[in-house]
Each structure stands twice: as C-alpha cells, then as structure tokens.
Amino acid sequence: MKRGDIVLCSMSSDFGKVRPAVVVQSDTFNGVRDTTSLCPLTTTDIEAPLFRIMLNPAPSNGLVKQSWIMIDKVCSIKNSRVRKIQGALTDNELKQIDVALRQWLALGD
C-alpha cells in the first residue's frame, strides 16, 4: 500500500460499512505501522467543495460510480481492515488532497 492508493476497507464507527478510501499517510510509515491513515470515499454529493474532492470512475482508480473524497473524515484504521487495493489517484488528484488536508488541518502552505 502506498500514498494515493484507493483501497477497499472496513472502517469503524459511523463509516463502518465496507467502502473505498484513499491512503493519505506518508509512504515512510506504510508497512511500518499497524495502522494506516486514509480519507473515506462517498457517492453522496454535498455542498462542501473545499473538503470533498470529486473523482470520476476510471480503470486506473477502480471506481464504478462518481465519488467524493471526504477530506473532513480523515481517520486511521488497522491494516487488517484493508481488504484490497483497487486503484490509485493521479498525481493531480493527490495534489488536490494535499491542498485540502493542509486547509482542514490548518497546516499552512
């Protein structure tokens, strides 16, 4: 698993159903820790353009429906809850996540 991968996983709490999510933690820690930080995806569109990044289905990302990355729901789950890697984001999509995460977490430029 690496940063920018879209994985199918079983999340906890309110997001507990099996859903796709984007790995957002640094590759430095992937495979070293027993948890992975990610942003879940949803097919529900809400008015939150700064913190919901739209993804169109493509063979490269493995999605079958238009989806939105929920930057405002970033969380960490145990690696054992990740079922499979189904695709990956483009470099441009990953840059959009970087900008949104910096805003959401007040990390500045």
What domains can you pick out in the chain, each with its CATH number?
A: 5-104 (2.30.30.110)
- In the prediction, which pLDDT does 108 show? 77
Sole residue written with tokens 């430029």: 109
How many angstroms separate the CA atoms of 63 and 78, rounded?
Answer: 23
The residue count of the chain comes to 109
- In the prediction, which pLDDT does 15 show? 59
Per-residue pLDDT of the chain (109 residues; tens, 9 = 90+): 999 999 999 887 655 678 999 999 999 988 888 999 999 999 998 888 778 999 999 999 999 999 999 999 999 999 999 999 999 999 999 999 999 999 999 887 6
20 forms beta bridges with 8
